[in-house]
Amino acid sequence: MTTPRATLAFTLNGRAATVSARKSDRLSAVLRDDLRLTGTKTGCDAGDCGACTVLLDDRPVCACLVAAGQVEGRSVTTIEGLAGRSDIGRRLQGAFLRHGAAQCGICTPGMLIAAEALLGQKSDPDESEVQDAVAGVLCRCTGYRKIVAAIRDAASSVRGAPLPQAGSAVGARIERLDGARKVEGTDLFGADAYPADCLLLRAVRSPFHRARFTLGDIDAYVASHPGVIRVFTAADVPGANRFGVIPVFADQPAFAEHEARFRGEAVAAVVGDADAVAALDLTAFPVIWEELPALRTIGAALDGDAPLLHASREGNVLVHGRVARGDPDAALAGADVVVEGTFETGFVEHAYIEPEAGYAARIGDRIEIAACTQSPYMDRDDVAAILGIAPDAVRILPTAVGGGFGSKLDLSVQPFLAIAAWHLGRPVRMAYSRRESMMTTTKRHPAYIHARIGARRDGRLVAMDFTGDFNTGAYASWGPTVANRVPIHAGGPYFLPHYRALTRAVHTNLVPAGAFRGFGVPQGAVAAEQLYDMLADRLGIDRLEFRILNALQPDQPTVTGQVLGEGVDIQRCLEALRPHWARARAEAAAFNAEAGGPMRRGVGIGAMWYGCGNTAMTNPSTIRLGLKPDGRLALHQGAVDLGQGSNTVITQICADAVGAPIAAFDLLSADTDITPDCGKSSASRQTFVTGKAAELAGRKLRQAILMRANAGDDAVLTFGDGVVAVRDGARENAIDLAALPGDARGYVLAEEAKFDPPTTELDADGQGTPYAVYAFGAHMAEIEVDIELGTVRVVKITAVHDVGTAINPTLAEGQIEGGVAQGLGLALMEEFHPGMSENLHDYLLPTVGDVPPIESILIEGNDATGPFGAKGLGEPALVPTAPAILNAIHDATGVRIHRVPATPDRVLAAIRAGTHA
């Protein structure tokens, strides 16, 4: 029986408030759903993420754990009331903006509230006091360092730095242009906004990894549940019951038919009034399950007798990847030293703090979907196919995205919402629970890797032979991309004259594995970079100098035969580590010499390279730029900013290309009706590809203005109210914008530019030009191992990255710090077990206390391809961290970890077994 609502009176953000709610309702739900204060976010409803932190009186609490009845007569402060509560809140918001402490922003309200409580008690906290204060709030984007710095710096001025003048935006540490919304709690994420008459949808999902099923009497179910309007199943899909991020591999049904291939796969959706649907016990839904034996490991799936998940995919192999060059067998046979090893990694959960959410509404013969996504145009095309309508009849309106890291490239809520809204003609919303999100959305591929690497006595590498199998789960998702990107990158940023890398993406009855920051490259680096350390040790060469000796040079071919010619800065990255390596090695040696207890210190290096953009395929972005009659510039920028900063960086690039101040720009962010296709936010491509399109569009518009004024290339532009002044030496012209005719969008001048990185298809041996530009980097980890407990504490990470040009160094550092934190999780603590760790309590994420000081060193180079020379950074930032930590564990203990994460039990077992290598 439902508890009746009561009128609750309390003080909310300094004012008397009343609300009609059940006393047992979560305070977070009352704030968000009844009072529509959506600045308070919810990421778990279990007290694990801290996103819902509010002040109850002056104490920070998780609003999801507070019953609404508890607030009667008391005072509640949410992010919406922060600035009005005290000067502390305003100073904190300013400091978060200055430091780049908000990336996606979904954790920001909780962080700010927790910090407000601390600073209310203590005005000048030290680092550990700040860490304690925010320890209950998880952030998946920033690596926490800038958050801690911002809180400690909140005593300084509220005001941000003024925006740079025309021509000086590139390289400036400007605040995130969309940052104010994030620190004020007004950014609208997937679950935050929906029409008032919206229905609620919940999915009925398989409780088994593999099961045949039969649906029962659905009509009777609807009739017997007041408030339920309709149930949708595969029979209700108007178009193709199939979607997938790579069209030729599309294989995932919106609703399973007859058999569920993984635990959590949807078989039906129940839609109705929000209260009624929210209260349903879906275990009582009429479906009869017949559990079937499930393939859960790569080995089981490859067994010749294993049933096929997809009839056309022989041996359960989705795709093979191959890159081969020279004669690796002969070269390894002739090598002076050869090392080999087997390495394994597990599923890793993206664990963004925002579970998938959104709503859909049918507008005549069109459908509009507002949801969190990394890939609006891909969503548009897939939804159109599912509904059997034309792509331009679908409008995708990306909401703010509370972290994605690759998983929000794939459809989640969109098919269900589209099908329901299309049939019902009423808006329908859905928000995944944390469990639903973790159970059903894509993961990092578990990998099983074996490799051999050989070198000459003088330290020069001669060959590598690599095989890697990747557990891609039940459906294709990005399995083909992983299987094709890994063989190119498996050798790392070194010259390898003889090379063979073979990969397979293998289907199992587990959650689909997809894109996760690096498309399999981090797993490959875990193996290769440990083998390089083993090789250096066998050769008696310093591990850093061994890498420098073999670092790829601009005139050397890569393993795909590409000679980059420029922008090959791995040697500079490694050389930048030399003084840090010497200092850290000396400190570790001194520590270990003095240590009488169980602690051992170690230092390790990992290096990386990463091709920016899609692999060996067309990969364009288009930017539109319009000059409005009032003298302002409209930038149609369709790249989704999920925290990485593309809204800001791309505007900085465009501003300098035009020669206009950033303040003259109005940003139109991703919306498939109004922004051209900028592709997906993944593959470290947005700064590089969309940024280049923005540079080209900016230069075209500048040329159009200069032509009108008959001015030379060096002329200075000034954008005023209704006028653009053009000063060319001593000559000054003013273009009266009101006198110019406007186009269909009202622009008096407009330009579009498209950039598609020059790549080629690869031949059967993987030879060709898969990427136009590679980013390089190297990390050094300093760690301490307790050899009695097996615990590992990371003391410091020094991260060097070749960014080409740092468009915004603050945001670049933020990407590095966030990548390091995720790499640390991969190395030491994160492993998703389907069916077991489907919450943020059992699945361990790095917290503020786990992330050490990070020293970022940005290397700028001379690659002319990208915008002002810039390269991508999002994925490169993660790749080297785990191998650096694993090599440091070996340095400290003498044992090699072959299975990540290196949890205390595994480290201890390796120490006890003496797994020396």
By CB under 6 A, name the binding residues for ligand FES: 28, 42-45, 47-52, 62, 64, 102-107, 139-142, 353, 403, 643
**What is the closest distance, in whole angstroms, from the C-beta atom of residue 50 to ligand FES in the complex?**
5
Backbone angles phi, psi at 571, to 5 degrees: -65, -40
**What is the closest distance, in whole angstroms, from the C-beta atom of residue 192 to ligand FES in the complex?**
14
Tokens of 621: 């972005």
CB 459 within 8 A of CB 550: yes
* HSE toward the beta carbon, residue 207, CA cutoff 13 A: 9
**What is the closest distance, in whole angstroms, from the C-beta atom of residue 434 to ligand FES in the complex?**
8
**What is the closest distance, in whole angstroms, from the C-beta atom of residue 598 to ligand FES in the complex?**
34
Give how far the C-alpha of residue 892 lies from the chain's centroid of Cα atoms, to the nearest Å. Answer: 32
* Cα distances (Å, whole numbers) of residue 740 to 500, 735, 748: 61, 9, 6
Alpha carbons 232 and 387: distance in angstroms, whole number: 13
**What is the closest distance, in whole angstroms, from the C-beta atom of residue 848 to ligand FES in the complex?**
11
**What is the closest distance, in whole angstroms, from the C-beta atom of residue 495 to ligand FES in the complex?**
38
Tokens of 898: 């072959």
By C-beta, is 69 or 904 nearer to ligand FES? 69
| Residue 146 identity | K
Give how far the C-alpha of residue 365 lies from the chain's centroid of Cα atoms, to the nearest Å. Answer: 34
By C-beta, is 104 or 166 nearer to ligand FES? 104
Tokens of 225: 């549940």
By C-beta, is 62 or 474 nearer to ligand FES? 62
Q: Is the dihedral of CA 706, 709, 713, 715 positive or negative?
A: negative
By C-beta, is 103 or 646 nearer to ligand FES? 103
* Cα distances (Å, whole numbers) of residue 706 to 227, 632, 716, 734, 849: 63, 17, 9, 11, 54
| CA-only gyration radius of the chain, Å | 28
Backbone angles phi, psi at 692, to 5 degrees: -65, -40
Angle 904-913/881-893 helices, nearest 10 degrees? 40
Alpha carbons 660 and 650: distance in angstroms, whole number: 13
What are the beta bridge partners of residue 742?
A: none
**What is the closest distance, in whole angstroms, from the C-beta atom of residue 846 to ligand FES in the complex?**
12
By C-beta, is 66 or 271 nearer to ligand FES? 66
**What is the closest distance, in whole angstroms, from the C-beta atom of residue 588 to ligand FES in the complex?**
32
By C-beta, is 643 or 645 nearer to ligand FES? 643
Query: Burial code of 468-491, b = ≥16 C-beta within 10 A, e = fewer?
Result: bbbbbbbbbbbbbbbbbbbbbbbb
By C-beta, is 164 or 403 nearer to ligand FES? 403
**What is the closest distance, in whole angstroms, from the C-beta atom of residue 101 to ligand FES in the complex?**
8
Alpha carbons 766 and 559: distance in angstroms, whole number: 9
What are the beta bridge partners of residue 501?
A: 323, 466
Tokens of 782: 């300093």
**What is the closest distance, in whole angstroms, from the C-beta atom of residue 106 to ligand FES in the complex?**
5
Who contacts 117 (Cβ-Cβ below 8 Å, separation ≥6)?
A: 55, 58, 59, 60, 133
By C-beta, is 47 or 315 nearer to ligand FES? 47
SS3 of residue 318 by DSSP = strand
Who contacts 157 (Cβ-Cβ below 8 Å, separation ≥6)?
A: 94
**What is the closest distance, in whole angstroms, from the C-beta atom of residue 898 to ligand FES in the complex?**
32
Q: What is the DSSP letter of 490?
A: T
Q: What is the DSSP letter of 739?
A: G
Tokens of 884: 């650096």
**What is the closest distance, in whole angstroms, from the C-beta atom of residue 162 to ligand FES in the complex?**
25
CB 412 within 8 A of CB 343: no
**What is the closest distance, in whole angstroms, from the C-beta atom of residue 536 to ligand FES in the complex?**
37
Alpha carbons 373 and 255: distance in angstroms, whole number: 20
By C-beta, is 29 or 254 nearer to ligand FES? 29
How many helices (DSSP H) and strands (DSSP E) are in the chain?
Answer: 24, 31
Q: Report strand pairing: 53-56 vs 498-507.
A: unpaired
- Counting Cβ atoms within 10 Å, is residue 596 exposed (0-12), middle (13-18) or buried (19+)? exposed
By C-beta, is 376 or 403 nearer to ligand FES? 403
In the chain the first and final C-alpha atoms are separated, in Å, by: 63
By C-beta, is 47 or 561 nearer to ligand FES? 47
By C-beta, is 81 or 355 nearer to ligand FES? 355
**What is the closest distance, in whole angstroms, from the C-beta atom of residue 642 to ligand FES in the complex?**
9
By C-beta, is 102 or 549 nearer to ligand FES? 102
SS3 of residue 619 by DSSP = coil
By C-beta, is 66 or 199 nearer to ligand FES? 66
Backbone angles phi, psi at 325, to 5 degrees: -155, 135
**What is the closest distance, in whole angstroms, from the C-beta atom of residue 348 to ligand FES in the complex?**
16
**What is the closest distance, in whole angstroms, from the C-beta atom of residue 6 to ligand FES in the complex?**
23
**What is the closest distance, in whole angstroms, from the C-beta atom of residue 118 to ligand FES in the complex?**
17
**What is the closest distance, in whole angstroms, from the C-beta atom of residue 150 to ligand FES in the complex?**
12
Do you know the residue count of the chain? 917
By C-beta, is 182 or 209 nearer to ligand FES? 182
Alpha carbons 323 and 504: distance in angstroms, whole number: 12
Cis link prior to 901 (omega < 30° from 0)? yes
Per-position DSSP letters for 293-311, written without gaps between them = ----SHHHHHSTTSPPSST
Tokens 């009845």 sit on residue: 69
By C-beta, is 50 or 766 nearer to ligand FES? 50
Q: Nearest CA to 415 among 398, 434, 428?
A: 428
By C-beta, is 436 or 891 nearer to ligand FES? 436
By C-beta, is 93 or 503 nearer to ligand FES? 93
